[in-house]
Amino acid sequence: MNNVSTNNTDHTDHPTGQGLLTGKVAFITGAGRGIGAAAARLFAREGARLLLAARTEAQLRAVTEEVGAAGGTAAYMVCDLADPAAARTAVDRTVELYGRLDIAFNNGATGIPPGPLDEVREDDFDHVYAVNLKGTWLAMAAEVAAIRATAGTGAIVNTSSVGSLMGNPELPAYGAMKRAVNSLTESAAVTYGPEGIRVNAIAPGTTLTEMLRGWDDRSPGVIERLNARTPLRRAADPDEIAQAAAWLLSDRASYVTGTVLRVDGGMRA
């Protein structure tokens, strides 16, 4: 087991006004960049207090300081989801800091080089399993326990992918793990719905994250090709994906559970 170091910056000023997530304590994985960082900024603006988790401390510190400078409340903890103990430790830290957990956004993930199934290296397959599937499962289990013990009711959103909803010949292992996340999401929704814990997933389409830009660097033209398959003819900004997660986590989605919401510009229409 790897040691998990913590670094916390807790700002006490709260955003003014009644936001979508006012009064809620939120835990976000993969919060150092991309969709997770966009979610951190948005959730704070909407009134949530945050514990941000990711592997890279410099990125986490920057996002935490940005949230604080804008008047929000955030702390961070370095967390590698490949470490089986990491998610539970981070969730426990959230409860230690804020006394409760209301909502969680399991966005942390890793990618592997694109290519057909027979060219996927076994160690890459094992790593994407450990982070994207097992890490999500462990985080969900810890979050359910924390919500149950503190807030009593709450909501969880997992980041899936539009690539989980169809054959994914270029990213077969990644697509398989995200499809399994869909199944975990649906199973958890059925299991914990009677307790008032909602569980949903979002399936982003082409989104301008570092992961996508890296793929486009290795295979020039990927973003252009994906945009051509998307009715809106463009990629999403990470904030557009975070907006969907915020809604699902809010009380405005109080009768929504067990869904995998496509946020894909119409790609799968």
Catalytic sites, residue numbers: 174
CA distances from 67 to 32, 38, 45, 49, 163 (A): 12, 10, 8, 10, 31
Q: CA-based Rg of the chain, rounded to a whole angstrom?
A: 17
d(CA 133, CA 59): 23
Which residue has tokens 């999403």?
A: 236
Structure tokens at 30: 């993969």
C-alpha to C-alpha distance for 111 and 168, rounded to whole angstroms: 14
Say if residues 141 and 69 touch (Cβ distance below 8 Å): no
Q: Are 205 and 163 in contact (CB under 8 A)?
A: no
Task: Region of 20 please: left (phi>0), alpha (psi -120 to 50) or beta.
Answer: alpha
Angle between helices 135-149 and 172-192 (to 10 degrees): 20
